[in-house]
A and B are shown apart, each in its own frame.
Chain A
């Protein structure tokens, strides 16, 4: 975790650094200035302030395309409050595209799953399933597929030491550590049909 990342660095480059000036504006004694105009300044207006001020901020990277924009993730007591571009990142310098801007909604999306859903063979509805139970069931199925479809030799007699009983798809949106685990574990099990979107 880092302290307020917003305060460090700026876009640099040839972007006007006008905004630095604003930060230097006096804020002390602000309250004494309120309400001098003819229009009513409401209580909420007087209390106005950025909801991320003083919050814990974590440095992250956008999960969408491969530009690799830096993100700042603001949280309060374990709740996500805001995700913005990281001004320190030399790649995006605080900016984000619409998808990156919407990434808070990716995490808080209306249909976000929090339970394992299970569909039994020939079933017509989802059922909720305990996570540990699901893990056990999946392990059993992997073992069965491996055992039932083990090939020591190819049909022409060549050694292959593998199973074509199960396959894997996906990886381009995962972490490298996760891809490493997938490749390592499934290769050790003799699986070869391991693929992702990166066939480029």
Chain B
């Protein structure tokens, strides 16, 4: 099988096939080796240094002009059966506390905030994701709030009966996912680029050419995933190139090579999709029935952006990983934040303030 026919290919080479990433979140250990490998190879400067609330050990926050791989941390809370039984027993015995009716699986799980703590997990807010067009707003967040409201009395933990609190807030799973540019078949960024800076390569990857980009920023709101961003120092847009330079010399992209558990796999797209489908079947057989592919192998018409060159194996709803459930077209899916950024960019363009970005030198790196 092959993905939907991609848009125009700028670089042709005999025998070149589509290459991609398959990121399997079920073996990701959240080590961030991919983040550093990417920065090391591409000589990208550190741009983080910001301690973030929530988000576990994610102090990166979002993909950006100097961060082309980003590991998300998702804390999922669910009472264990034993803990739930304990809590109920405690209640029956006349103890204080509360056993909330938490859905067993799927969405709508309470976050620690709802459970009476000052939350530790959950998803970063759009503000935390930072930057114009910095990612899609997780649709689940309002659901969670709603859930708490519907239940009327927000569960109170620990007043008089710590065990109930402990039972309620039992940690269930901690999930990690290494996010990256999706190298879409229908790439909104490429369509929006007025200068031809964004091209589709012979590997059918989508690459921003820094020596062409003038920093107009149109690509930023055009991406349903919030991937491209402007470098604050030189104004040009930047994102993952799928290590276009390494591919020229037969080298694996830096992140995929670095990944200690092979959560990130690289290879010819069609073969990767086959591998990934086999992996889903194997996981289903092992009882991980929630495993599915995000961005690959969908029916025509239901594909995300026509199919993703970098696709994922997930076990939770995409929103939990900060991914949009649908990405048919940029305008539809980008949400208010990206839209706002897009409007801002358009306004800037109209004002003619985009001059001379290209001559700005990048800050010294390393």
Contact = CB atoms under 8 A, between A and B. Distances in A.
A and B touch in the complex (CB under 8 A): yes
Interface of A: 6, 11, 15-16, 18-19, 21-23, 25-27, 29-30, 33-45, 48-53, 82-85, 87, 92, 94-98, 100-102, 104-105, 108
Nearest to B255: A101
A48 B248 contact: yes
Interface string B197-209: 1111010000101
18 contacts: A16-B271, A18-B267, A23-B250, A33-B12, A33-B14, A37-B9, A37-B11, A40-B195, A40-B199, A40-B212, A41-B10, A43-B211, A49-B249, A52-B249, A53-B249, A83-B40, A98-B35, A105-B40
A57 to B, nearest CB: 12
Contact of B247 (A18, A22, A34): A22
Contacts of B53: none
Given A37-B9, A45-B209, A92-B260, A50 B33 contact: no
Contacts of B200: 37, 39
Given A30-B13, A39-B199, 4 more contacts: A36-B11, A84-B254, A98-B33, A101-B36
B247 A42 contact: no
Interface in B7-23: 8-16, 19
Contacts of B19: 22
Nearest to B366: A108
Nearest to B260: A95
Interface of B: 8-16, 19, 31-33, 35-37, 40-41, 190, 193, 195-200, 202, 207, 209-212, 244-252, 254, 257-260, 262, 265-268, 271-272, 275, 366
A92 B261 CA distance: 10
A25 B8 contact: no
B259 A95 contact: yes
Contacts of B267: 16, 18-19, 21-22
A38 B207 contact: no
A53 B247 CA distance: 11
A42 B258 CA distance: 29
Kindly list the 8 A-B residue pairs having the minimum CB-CB distance in the complex, ordered from nearest: A18-B267, A37-B10, A23-B250, A50-B249, A101-B36, A40-B196, A39-B196, A98-B36
Contact of B13 (A11, A33, A40): A33
A22 B265 CA distance: 14
Contacts, number: 150
Contacts of A33: 11-14, 202
Contact of A41 (B190, B199, B272, B275): B199
B14 A26 contact: yes
A11 B197 CA distance: 36
A92 B33 CA distance: 13
Given A33-B202, A53-B249, A18 B8 contact: no
Contacts of A100: 33
Contacts of A43: 211
Nearest to A110: B366
A42 B209 contact: yes
A25 B15 contact: yes
Nearest to A96: B258
Given A22-B19, A22-B267, A102-B40, A42 B212 contact: yes
